[in-house]
Structure 1
């Protein structure tokens, strides 16, 4: 296989969308750095990718809830003599329910992974990309980023940060050799909903992780800034009225209220969660 000469770092690489990114990038000839908490799963995936596609596949076991997680990952890259051409901030998890019932520590950890580690890795790797004159960053957000999502308050707010952060950097680095993309999937067949504890949190038809990755790589090639994979997800994200915001929040609460009491949401249209 012809190698691209590029190295991609993928967080949350051991399953779901992260594993699909790893497979797609290995298949096109990229070298990989896979980051997640669980070393045995990373090593098993790395061995499989080397066998099927060849190339260099490194693994870094790192808990991204730790305050210095991004610094540790970048230090490990330096120790191994690795530079990153494509950063995929995929790691993330969510919670659903009444905010006062959700664990304080788990909500904190969610923000550390979904927001702090993502921004930290981006900040630490962009200077090298600028120095080399090229680079690509993919941040996995969600359709939940487009409106308030009661009973997904921490998750949707964190993903709103990811979307706005990505678009800000996309605009900032246009013309400077760096592409930045926010990927905003709807409900996707991943272990995400096992973490939440109910598949009732999937407001809409489940898509495939492979389709999300294919859509993301196409959008990245064309420097789109953001992409919402799937026509129905795009409609749900963009056709919801944007003003007044309090009305949007009240409508969304009606949709997701069932999750507060362990039941199903009453409508599949307005907000979504994805890994």
Structure 2
């Protein structure tokens, strides 16, 4: 197979899991993440384990110039049939304590980078016989939450952007899907924050490897909205509990992440 799959945020957590999952089923991979994230080591591990090509780009996706420069290089050199927009960032802070850089990083990475990466790689995807875009949203896209504020709003964007893009190109060779994972223990910081939330924070908890496995399987089944089975209770809560109840309920759980 000469075609490549691009995975952003590939150095850890769900992005790393996506990279290994796609390599396992035969795709060459292009891994993207920040510098000094050991991408070379991950790339080598993939090649040694699966005998597929694995390349990497180290760049900051919050800078639009970096995205354009990198994607132009990819488009000139490689055929891309899968784009996984996984890179994202969140966190928990009181809004009054969140500085400009903190808020801007969430917006630039979750909203701008997802949009511009898709725009830049789209012509490459259109050249392939069959291609896929998988955008990673979140269960928090279905409810506002205090002490996170901008992060859920950014994931609403990812969700709606993906659904609209699917409708626009559903008769083309480019299939667009979105996955909405619940909590995942992707690193020590995230694990600590989940644990502090208590029961509600652990609803739908899954490993990144399992999320990646199910998401890839459903993507190839052309599932436009990937909702993981273990998120069923969370989805029911979001769907049937009125917002005036669930907003303070979820916000109280999330507030426990903040260490006073």
Fold shared per TM-score above 0.5: yes
Counterpart position of 2:221: 222
Q: SS where residue 13 of structure 1 aligns?
A: coil
Aligned residues between the structures: 255
Match status 1:84 vs 2:80: yes
Equivalent residues in 2 for 1:22-171 (5 A)? Answer: 22-39=19-36, 41-78=38-75, 81-171=77-167
CA contact under 8 A between 2:3 and 2:81: conserved in structure 1?
yes
C-alpha distance in 2 between matches for 1:54 and 1:175: 34
Relative to structure 1, the CA distance from residue 42 to residue 172 in structure 2 (aligned partners, 3 Å threshold; closer, same or farther) is same
Q: 1:40 to 1:114 in 2, by over 3 A?
A: closer
1:249/1:34 Cα in 2 relative to 1: closer, same or farther (>3 Å)? farther
- Structure 1: 4+ residue segments shifted above 6 A: none
1:197 CA drift (Å) = 6.9
Alignment correspondent of 1:257: 252
Tell me how far apart the structure 1 counterparts of residues 2 and 244 of structure 2 sit (CA, whole Å).
46
What's the CA shift string for 1:85-110, capped at 9, x where partnerless? 10001111102132111222111011
- Cα RMSD over matched residues? 2.3
- Secondary structure of 1:180 counterpart: strand
Normalising by structure 2, what TM-score? 0.89
For residue 6 of structure 1, the aligned residue among 3, 19, 43 is 3
1:158 and 1:249, CA in 2 relative to 1: closer, same or farther beyond 3 A?
farther
Q: Is the 8 A contact 1:14 1:41 kept in 2?
A: yes
Specify the alignment match of 2:186 in structure 1.
190
1:99 and 1:263, CA in 2 relative to 1: closer, same or farther beyond 3 A? closer
Contact 1:97–1:259, Cα closer than 8 Å, also in 2: no
**Contact 1:96 / 1:259 at 8 angstroms: preserved in 2?**
yes
Decide whether aligned partners of structure 1 residues 56 and 241 sit closer, same or farther in structure 2, where only a CA change above 3 A counts.
Answer: closer
* Gap runs ≥5 in structure 2: none
